[in-house]
Amino acid sequence: MTNPPRTSEDEELDELDLEAQRRGPDDVDVEVEVFDAVRGNTNFPVQPVRLTADDTFNFRCHNGLACWNKCCHGADISLAPYDILRLSRRLKMSPAEFLLAYTVPAIHEKADLPIAKIKTGGDDGRGPCPFNAAEGCTVYEDRPATCRYYPLGMVSVKMKDMEGKDDFFFLVKEDHCLGHCETKTQNVGEFRAEQDVADYERVNRGWVDILMKMASWKVMGGPMGKAPSPQTKKMFFMATTDVESFRRFVFGTKFLDNYDIDPEAVELIKTDDEALLLLAFDWLKAVLFNEPTLLLKEQVLQGAIAKARETLGAS
Ligand code: SF4
Ligand code: SF4
C-alpha cells in the first residue's frame, strides 16, 4: 500500500512538531497579569482592587437608565474561542463567515498572539457593536464573556515563585455607567452565577492559560528565548477561532498519525466542538511550550528529535 501524498499542511505540521522539539519543556518565573475581561481601556483601575466571590457591590443594568446601550458603543471586545463558537452557532454561520462579517484581527498585547475582536461601527470604531439594537443586545443569550462580566473585569495573575495562577475580579466604574447608582446589592459570586459564565470559563480556560504563559515568556523573547514563528501564530489563530478549519486540519492531515489520541476522543471530536477546542488548546500547549498535554507517537517523536538535532548541528 502506498502512502497518501503529503500536503502542504502536513509539511506545516512537521515544522510545528520540530519547533516544539527545539524548545525545552520549561517554565519561566516572572510576575505577569493578563486582563481578560475588560471592554475598554478607559477608566479601568491601574491598580485594581481585588474582589473575592463574597465581596458585594451595587449594580443594576436596565433599559430605564439614561445610559442604556452607551457601553455597547466603541467597546473594545476581545473574543475568546468559546465566544466565537456560541455567536457563530447562534447566527447560523460558520466560524469563518462569522469572523469575516463581525470581527477584526488584533494582537493580544501582553501575549503577542493573534486574536479576534468585535468590529464596531463608525470610521473611528466608536460606533455601536453590530449586535446592539435599541432594545439592547440582540445576541444576549450568547453574548461574549467580557459582556457577561461587565462591570466586573477579570485578571489572571501569576506571581513570581507562585506555583499556579490566580484569578481575581475588580469593579470597572466608567463615568457614563449609571448602573452603579442603583440600589441592588449582590456579591461577585451571585453576579457571576446570574451572568451564567461557568461554561465560558470552563472552555476558555486553556486559551487563557496559553496567553498567560506566553505573556510570561515574552520578557525572555518567547518560549526558550525564541519567539513563535509566523506560521505557529497563524496556526494559533486558526485553532482558537475556527473550529471547522481546525477539524479539517485534524482529520485532513497526518495529525492523528502523529499524536497519541484515544480512539474514543477521536470519535468525540468529529462532532463535539467544545471537545475539539480543548484538544486545540492541548495541541498548542505542546507546540508552543513542549508541554506533555498531547504526546507525539514514539516513532514520530524519535524522528522529530533526530531532525531537531540535525538542524541544531548536534552529532
Ligand atoms: S455583544 Fe451585546 S452586550 Fe456585548 S457589546 Fe455587543 S450588543 Fe453590547
Ligand atoms: S448601566 Fe452600565 S452596563 Fe447598563 S446600559 Fe448603562 S452603561 Fe451599559
Long-range contacts of 181-187 (CB under 8 A, 24+ apart): 181/58, 182/58, 182/59, 182/60, 183/58, 183/60, 184/58, 184/59, 184/60, 185/56, 185/57, 185/58, 186/56, 186/57, 186/59, 187/53, 187/54, 187/55, 187/56, 187/57
Cα–Cα distance, 182 to 247 (Å, whole number): 46
- Ligand 2 centroid to 66 CA: how many Å? 9
Secondary structure (DSSP) of 191-215: HHHHTT-HHHHHHHHHHHHHHHHHH
Cell, residue 125: 470604531
Give the nearest ligand 2 atom to 179 CA: 1
Nearest-CA residue for ligand 1 atom 2 is 137
Residue 315: the pLDDT is: 46
Residue type, 27: D
- Ligand 2 centroid to 38 CA: how many Å? 14
**Degrees to nearest 5, angle at CA 35 with 209 and 65:** 130
Angle between helices 8-22 and 298-311 (to 10 degrees): 70
H-helix or E-strand containing 42? none
- Do the Cβ atoms of 143 and 149 come closer than 8 Å? no
CB of 74 within 6 A of ligand 2: the answer is no
Q: Where are the domains of the chain?
A: 8-26+221-311, 32-212
SS3 146: helix
Mean pLDDT of 207-214: 89
Mean pLDDT of 257-263: 93
CB of 147 within 6 A of ligand 1: the answer is yes
Cα 129 to Cα 36, 121, 136: the distances in Å are 19, 6, 11
Nearest-CA residue for ligand 2 atom 2 is 177
Cell, residue 78: 476581545
Nearest-CA residue for ligand 2 atom 1 is 179
pLDDT in tens, 145-184: 999 999 988 877 766 666 667 778 888 888 889 999 999 9
Residue type, 309: R
102, 129, 140, 152: which to mutate for ligand 1, most atoms within 8 A of CB? Answer: 129
pLDDT in tens, 19-70: 666 555 455 555 556 656 666 554 455 556 788 889 999 999 999 999 999 9
Cβ atoms within 10 Å, residue 179: 19
Cα–Cα distance, 142 to 84 (Å, whole number): 9
| Res 239 pLDDT > 80 | yes
Residue 50: the pLDDT is: 84
pLDDT in tens, 70-86: 999 988 899 999 999 99
Cα–Cα distance, 12 to 29 (Å, whole number): 31
- Ligand 2 centroid to 232 CA: how many Å? 39
Q: What b/e string do you get for 81-118 counting C-beta neighbours within 10 Å, with b at 16 or more?
A: bbbbbbbbebbeeebeebbeebbeeeebebbbbbbbbb
Nearest-CA residue for ligand 1 atom 8 is 72
Cell, residue 296: 507525539
| Res 204 pLDDT > 90 | yes
Mean pLDDT of 195-208: 93
Ligand lying nearest the CA atom of residue 64: 2
Nearest-CA residue for ligand 1 atom 1 is 143
Residue 51 DSSP label: B
Cell, residue 143: 453574548
First and final C-alpha spacing in the chain? 34
Nearest-CA residue for ligand 2 atom 7 is 177
